[in-house]
Structure 1
Amino acid sequence: MIDVQKISKEKNFVSAVIYVYNDEARIAGFLETIHEVLKNNFDKYQIICVNDASTDNSLEIIRSVAKTIPGTVINVVNMSFYQGVELSMNAGIDISIGDFVFEFDNMVMDYEPELMMKVYERSLTGFDIVNAAPKNCGHKSSKLFYALFNYYAPGPHPLRTENFRVLSRRAINRVHSMSKTIPYRKAVYANCGLKIDTIEYDNDPLCAKRYNKETKYLRKEMATDSLMLFTNIAYRMSIAAAVLMMVATFGIGVYTLISYVTDQVISGYTSMMLVIAGGFFGVFAILAVVIKYLSILTDLVFSKEKYTIESVETISQ
């Protein structure tokens, strides 16, 4: 019997970048599934596992699985210490050489393997970035973050929870030309000016990955930084605070003058309150201006975050 899949394999070189952090329970099956999909559909491909300083047996399992896959080379990027999904994925993408790159931020496979090819095939129709997004997201914190982000940074491509995506090499080059450092990939992708599409799929929200305390803290920090970098929420909150303080200090000033005119005041109270009111008014007015300039500078020049790699392994049978 003729294998149709082998005859009709794609000629594009693809890379699969997989984020790994203490995933010993999932990594073996996930790698085998990724390899099976790529082997059946592509002539040439590479698999890159970014090991974010895992403390379990994830690295040993990757090495073991890699040696059981004939003819396939798996590259392992070992981060020097735990640096989180954003910097780790940046490291993996930087060493990828594919015409198209699969980004797997996590190994929760709440979808059928065939979805990978559907996403890739959609990218061939003219989209430089195609996302695979679950219809059901169980994390309330994620919903809140995306609601705030999309409200304060309205754009043509609202952000949402995604499981994986495919990027064209043009998209990667465009993003790198925009900024040498990428603090939050999804936001940069959404604003790179290229065509983006999303494929939704039915999923079980109970399959969502649970994070440890360290990861939860880093994700919250990243969410806060992203809101500061890519939205005007900080500026609008500072303006609101400044307006409230101005109104309050103005009211105190009026009350002080009335107290002075009516002589219903404690000795020294009038001059003290005038000084405090004027001081608060000036401080908050200046802070509003400074924060506005800082928000502009932050938009133009991102913080110089760099990842640190301990080693890169090439594993083959």
Structure 2
Amino acid sequence: MSVSIIIPLLNEEKNIEILYNEIQEVAARSRYTFEIVFVDDGSTDNSLSILESIQKENPQVIIISLRKNFGQTAALSAGFDMAGGEIIIAMDADLQNDPADIPLLLEKIEEGYDVVTGWRFDRKDPFFSRKLPSQIANKIISWTTSVNLHDYGCTLKAFKREVIKSIHLYGEMHRFIPAIASGMGISITEVKVNHRPRRFGSSKYGISRTIRVILDLVTVKFLLSYSTRPIHVFGTMGLLSGGVGFLIAATMTFQRQFYGMAMSDRPLIFLSILLMFVGVQFITMGLIAEMLSRTYHESQSKPTYYIRNVLKCSEDKRN
């Protein structure tokens, strides 16, 4: 079987050769054939020239040079599109992911899992700025998506080709690949992997990514639960809002008719009207979303289901 290793990078000139040599050591001991896809995400140092020199020595090295810095998700997506292996592995270029863990991922794929994700159980990063926010985020993502993993942020993952080729990534969604793939009914497992301190260069991650991750999490949750039935989420909110508004208006009308209580000088009447209008708007949004959902699936012939296997009797048995 063939393996494609996807490595997005940005200004990692001191790490590239070390990482390449470590991967080659793993490949030399493996019964798999390896190709390495480096995705240069707009580096401004000598990363690209180093990659070109490596490629001259090894034709199994593929270089994708992006026109500018598009971000890790886009770089991984470019690598996935170019990969030709039956098993696709993603990893960082900063040497914190250990290539020696690649056989662990491949063993789990051989056991029948569709996605194998790394768990940096002994993470070598600052606690308050990196580890603590990551732990909180992992709990929230696991609870929201119902896919319980210890470490969504670990780039070191392995995928069967048919799984990753069916996924399109946007924003910062590379960390949500296991959750997105779960909607296809695939099997996922997690393995403990080594995590090493960064030796050269600086981290490209910051606390500012938190807001983008939260927004992408909302998107992922919507896609997992309601992409083919958006009226269920918008319609529910519309009925709740409109129902509360109607109850408030009905109560005030009853008070006016039987107790002579004034309505015009009470702010609740405006709140009830607002809630009913908002309810109508939510239901209208749901109907529009339903039409967009159908256009999205039908125009691209995108299935609303994923088949694992088809079993048929032979013609001889049927006759």
TM-score bracket, normalised by the shorter chain, equals: 0.5 to 0.7
Q: Give the conservation status (yes or no) of the 8 Å contact 1:246–1:281.
A: yes
Matches within 5 A, 1:69-88: 70-88=57-75
Match for residue 307 of structure 1?
Answer: none
Structure 1 unmatched runs, 5+: 1-11, 305-317
In structure 2, the residue matched to 1:280 is 275
Matches of 1:153 and 1:292, distance apart in 2: 25
User: What is the aligned partner in structure 2 of residue 114 from structure 1?
Assistant: 100
Asked if structure 2 preserves the Cα contact closer than 8 Å seen for 1:19 and 1:89, the reply is: yes
CA contact (8 A) 2:54 2:61 kept: no
1:229/1:299 contact within 8 Å kept: no
Alignment partner of 1:31 is 2:20:
yes
Cross-structure match for 2:304: none
2:220 is aligned with 1:230: no
SS of 1:198's partner is strand
* AA matched with 2:11: N
Identify the residue that residue 302 of structure 2 maps to in structure 1.
none
Q: How far apart are 1:18 and its partner, in Å?
A: 0.6
Tell whether the 8 Å contact from 1:159 to 1:187 is kept in structure 2 after alignment. Answer: no
Which structure has the higher relative contact order (CA within 8 Å, separation 6+)?
A: 1
1:152-231 equivalences under 5 Å are 152-154=144-146, 158=149, 160-161=151-152, 162-172=154-164, 175-176=165-166, 181-183=168-170, 184=173, 185-201=177-193, 203=195, 209-211=203-205, 219=213, 221-231=215-225
Moved more, 111-120 or 282-291: 282-291
Tell me, yes or no, if structure 1 residue 254 matches structure 2 residue 251: yes
Q: Which residue of 1 aligns with 2:76?
A: 89
AA aligned to 2:102 is M
Amino acid at match of 2:109: S
Deviation at 1:196, TM superposition (A): 2.8
Q: Is the 8 A contact 1:256 1:273 kept in 2?
A: no
Q: Calculate the TM-score normalised by the size of structure 2.
A: 0.67
TM-score, reference length from structure 1: 0.67
Distance in 2 between residues matched to 1:238 and 1:144, nearest whole Å: 31
The offset of 1:95, in angstroms, is: 1.3
CA displacement at 1:297 relative to structure 2: 5.9
Rate the CA distance shift 1:290–1:237 in 2: closer, same or farther, 3 A: closer
Q: CA deviation at 1:277?
A: 1.9
Listed one character per residue, the Cα deviations across residues 115-144 of structure 1 (whole Å, up to 9, x for unaligned) are 111221232222232222212564444444
Deviation at 1:213, TM superposition (A): 7.8
- Contact residue 88 and residue 158 of structure 2 kept, 8 A: yes
Deviation of 1:78 after TM superposition, in Å, equals 1.7
1:48 pairs with 2:43: no
Cα offsets for 1:198-247 (capped at 9, x unmatched): 21135468999551588666555544432443356x97699579747854
* Closer, same or farther: CA 259–139 of 1 in aligned 2, 3 Å: farther
RMSD: 4.2
Aligned partners of 2:180 and 2:220 also within 8 Å: no
Q: Distance in 2 between matches of 1:296 and 1:22?
A: 44
Structure 2: which 5+ residue stretches go unaligned? 124-129, 300-319
